[in-house]
Amino acid sequence: MSRRERREKAAEERPRISFWQGVREIVIILVLAAIVAVGIQSFFFKAFIIPSSSMSPTLQIGDRVMVDRVTYYFRKPRRGDIVVWRYPPDDPRSLTTSNPFYWPFQQIGETLHLTHRGTTPFVKRVIATEGETLQIKNGQVYINGKPIVEPYKVQDNSDFGPVKVPKGMFYGLGDNRPNSRDSRYFGPIPYRTIIGKVILIWWPPSHFGKPRPRINS
């Protein structure tokens, strides 16, 4: 039997897929792709738009950023991390429940835009973590009585504290201190409310890269 004859015979023996079988396979592939996409956004990575100038000059209004949801599965937030969360801690919609069965559904609902519609997330920098004492004197931040260096911030002359950060919470401040509604106004934020850590500016192209402190002149 020649090679051509073998190919023709193999083609005849190969099962033929009907039109509706092809449609069904395409639908299954699309459904699986949608499930994977929702899973990635709900539990691994999610894109956000910077809504205000409170993190300027590090993040500008309209910057598209990628938020890493995985990091805080394994460790708590650290000073200097830029984090996203949804509501002030006193908002009844804030995710403060300790019920582990509620959390996955809340994350999936947010990805599908079934929950939190019309809300604007907060994007701030972690300044003080649980157990630390925070104080601001004439714009200088002190942690446990020691000044910290903040090359990224817009200078102001505010005073705040001293306050001790409760267990399971952190204080988040905007880099643009004179124009930021943050923990100085609504207090400490529960770790549980954090959506994730900002790891990348992906749009516009001129801002592409890891968010980095920009030293003010």
pLDDT of residue 92: 58
Number of domains in the chain: 1
Within-domain flag for 29: no
Q: Give the range of the structural domain holding residue 77, as residue numbers without chain letter.
A: 40-207
**Percent helix, strand and coil across the chain, each rounded to 5?**
30, 25, 45
Among 187, 142, 137, 179, CA closest to 157: 137
Out of 54, 56, 180, 183, pick the active-site residue.
54
Q: Is 9 a catalytic residue?
A: no
Residue 193 lies in a domain: yes
Residue of 42, 46, 56, 124 with catalytic role: 124
Residue 13 located in a structural domain: no
Q: What is the pLDDT of residue 86?
A: 78
User: What is the model's pLDDT at position 66?
Assistant: 92
Is 61 inside any structural domain?
Answer: yes
Contact 41, 196 (CB under 8 A): no
Residue 54: active-site member: yes
* pTM greater than 0.85: no
- The CATH number given to whatever domain includes residue 63 is 2.10.109.10
Kindly state whether residue 136 falls inside one of the protein's structural domains: yes
For residue 45, the model assigns a pLDDT of 83
Q: Is residue 176 part of a domain?
A: yes
Domain membership of residue 217 (yes or no) is no
144 within domain boundaries: yes
The partner residues of 45 in beta bridges, in order of sequence, read 68
From first to last of the 217 residues of the chain, give the pLDDT tens digit. 566 656 655 555 556 667 777 788 888 888 888 788 777 777 788 888 898 999 999 999 999 999 998 898 899 999 999 999 876 666 655 555 455 666 666 677 676 666 666 667 889 999 999 999 999 999 999 999 999 999 999 989 989 989 999 999 999 999 999 999 999 998 999 888 888 899 999 999 989 999 976 544 3
> Which pLDDT value is given to residue 216?
42
